[in-house]
């Protein structure tokens, strides 16, 4: 068994015994017997991008995570890894060494291969006497194998300042085949020493505060990821499950679109920030070498088949989209939004998705998508004109129509769209022509945030108006949590799981609502 590693860099020598580091300056590699003053594995471990015979295992060395370069010497560091068929590591099935390189923030991405399909494995890392915590990963089923069930969670939007990650502790306890992170792993805002109560609008103490200003450089983004990854609830969810990760906007800047940011920065200048953010994202996620960044570009749309049951199409709706129309934000529609050539995925990704859906042999197709696809009139009072979120598919109606027309033309009746971004739970139907009054072709489940938006409540003000104005919308809720998707051969069931608070630890989890979809009969039914 073998693996290939790709890692990154750091610089403060305070985390390593000075004499040892100085003595190894000549060979320029810090060997495995190096002793650290603090454990270098404080950011946890993760696995992701599984295949039928393996997966990626990840860690990032940082004995002093919030110091310059994470407290690491500016040299490659040798890291040992092992993968076992049992949690006690009595049967080791893969082991080796790789280098954590300063150029990649001393992160490690090891691609494990040669394993058995559709089963769990356990993994860990070593440097001398230092040992990481143990993670658990799961391989994909063999291609085409008959499956009775796939169970996964959709979650994301985890603003560090707005709430605790208690929902992730509950995710770690779920029985899952995988976790899909739909984006907004970090938030790029500068530290805010006061917060605002959503009900009263008055200032309140923040739950916790970002370290540092808004990130622009690679070191800035590395620091922000380090702060987020120090959260042990997040570490628990990573260690418990294999993840599929995609990004949305806050990994770079709010509402960015291709080469444009929200502030009118010249594209050539904004692209410098994009390069730094793309590298930091790769460094901190369990991604394969195929997603290694090249300048601003990173390959993030990809596909995974779970036997004959589920084909998962993971989208990227940021990197290739046109700029938001009508000045962005929540607006009435303008002529620019209605242009027939508007795209939210770009031509290449759109062809890839259409082809994958048309040729998919599985009983279900998941479109794992970042921003709301169904048209949603956002009027919550007596406004005269319909209000649309121009950062969602509502700003790209021609792209949505092309997708739904493709689904209808090919008679694909087993499509479920899972989405994030909204910081609320929604369940609704996608109808022909992208119209709320058309024929139901697919359904969409929008998972709420892990913490963004604070505690929330069952319903926001005006939710009754939104439900009344959107007959294709069946459910809305404004609490924090995640969505559990339980996919059977003939019925897909989604549970909206919510915590009672994110402003205090040890919040309880409960199922707020459940909906079912029957294969071959798209439409939502309470479950």
For the chain, the domain total comes to: 2
- Which residue range is the domain that position 18 belongs to? 13-138
**For residue 16, what pLDDT is reported?**
39
One domain for residues 329 and 411? yes
Neighbours of 88 (CB within 10 A): 8
Contacts of 372 (CB under 8 A, 6+ apart): 389, 392, 393, 394, 419, 421, 422, 426, 444, 446
One domain for residues 124 and 176? no
**For residue 3, what pLDDT is reported?**
42
Q: 185, 156 in Cβ contact below 8 A?
A: yes
CA 205 to chain centre: 28
Is residue 277, in this structure, part of any structural domain at all?
A: no
One domain for residues 219 and 354? yes
Q: 474, 516 in Cβ contact below 8 A?
A: no
Neighbours of 322 (CB within 10 A): 18
Number of helices (H), then strands (E), belonging to the chain: the values are: 8, 27
Terminal-residue alpha carbon distance, the chain = 45
Q: pLDDT of 166-185, one tens digit each?
A: 999 999 999 999 999 999 99
**For residue 402, what pLDDT is reported?**
97
**For residue 321, what pLDDT is reported?**
98
Q: pLDDT of 231-249, one tens digit each?
A: 999 999 999 999 999 999 9
Q: For residue 431, give the CATH number of its domain.
A: 3.60.21.70
**For residue 194, what pLDDT is reported?**
79
One domain for residues 117 and 158? no
Contacts of 340 (CB under 8 A, 6+ apart): 398
One domain for residues 128 and 162? no
Q: Which two tokens stand for residue 314?
A: 């993971």
Is residue 143, in this structure, part of any structural domain at all?
A: no
Segments of the chain with pLDDT less than 50: 1-27
Is residue 111, in this structure, part of any structural domain at all?
A: yes
Which residue among 138, 173, 195 closes a domain?
A: 138
Which residue among 86, 106, 138 closes a domain?
A: 138
Is residue 492, in this structure, part of any structural domain at all?
A: yes
Which residue among 73, 104, 138 closes a domain?
A: 138
């Amino acid at each position: 068994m073998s693996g290939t590693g790709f890692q990154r860099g750091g610089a403060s020598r305070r985390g390593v015994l000075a004499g040892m580091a100085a003595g190894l300056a000549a060979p320029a590699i810090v060997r495995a017997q190096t002793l650290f003053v603090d454990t270098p594995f404080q950011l946890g471990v993760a696995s992701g991008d599984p295949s039928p015979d393996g997966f990626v295992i990840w860690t990032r060395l940082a004995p002093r995570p919030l110091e310059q370069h994470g407290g690491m010497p500016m040299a490659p560091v040798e890291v040992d890894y092992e993968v076992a068929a049992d949690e006690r590591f009595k049967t080791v099935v893969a082991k080796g060494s790789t280098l954590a390189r300063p150029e990649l923030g001393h992160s490690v991405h090891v691609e494990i291969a040669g394993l058995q399909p559709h089963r769990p494995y356990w993994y860990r890392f070593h440097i001398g006497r230092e040992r990481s915590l143990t993670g658990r990963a799961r391989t994909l089923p063999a291609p085409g194998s008959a499956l009775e069930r796939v169970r996964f969670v959709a979650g994301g939007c985890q603003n560090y300042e707005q709430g605790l990650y208690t929902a992730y502790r509950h995710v770690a306890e779920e029985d899952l085949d995988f976790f899909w992170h739909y984006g907004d792993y970090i938030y790029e805002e500068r530290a805010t020493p006061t917060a605002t109560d959503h009900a009263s609008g008055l200032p309140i103490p923040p739950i916790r505060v970002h370290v540092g200003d808004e990130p622009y450089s690679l070191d800035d983004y590395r620091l922000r990821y380090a702060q987020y990854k120090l959260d042990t609830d997040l570490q628990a969810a990573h260690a418990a499950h294999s993840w599929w990760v995609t990004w949305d906007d806050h990994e770079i800047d709010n509402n960015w679109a291709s080469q444009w940011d929200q502030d009118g920065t010249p594209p050539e200048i904004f692209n410098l920030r994009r390069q730094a953010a793309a590298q930091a994202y790769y460094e901190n996620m369990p991604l394969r070498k195929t997603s290694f960044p090249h300048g601003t570009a990173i390959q993030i749309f990809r596909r995974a088949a779970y036997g004959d049951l589920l084909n998962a199409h993971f989208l990227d709706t940021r990197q290739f989209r046109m700029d938001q129309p009508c000045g962005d934000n929540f607006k009435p529609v303008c002529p620019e939004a209605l242009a027939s050539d508007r795209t939210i995925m770009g031509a290449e990704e759109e062809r890839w998705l259409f082809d994958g859906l048309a040729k998919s042999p599985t009983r279900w197709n998941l479109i794992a998508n970042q921003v709301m696809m169904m048209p949603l009139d956002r009027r919550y009072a007596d406004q005269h004109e319909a209000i649309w979120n121009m950062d969602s598919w509502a700003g790209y109606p021609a792209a949505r129509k092309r997708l739904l027309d493709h689904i209808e033309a090919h008679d694909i009746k087993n499509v479920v769209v899972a989405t994030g971004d909204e910081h609320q739970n929604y369940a609704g139907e996608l109808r022909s022509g992208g119209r709320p009054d058309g024929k139901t072709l697919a359904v969409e489940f929008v998972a709420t945030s892990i913490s963004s938006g604070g505690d929330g409540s069952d319903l926001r003000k005006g939710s009754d108006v939104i439900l009344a104005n959107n007959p294709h919308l069946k459910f809305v809720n404004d609490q924090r949590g995640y969505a559990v998707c339980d996919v059977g051969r003939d019925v897909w069931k989604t549970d909206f799981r919510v915590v009672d608070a994110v402003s205090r630890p040890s919040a309880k989890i409960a199922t707020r609502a459940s909906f079912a979809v029957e294969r071959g009969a798209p439409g939502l039914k309470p479950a």
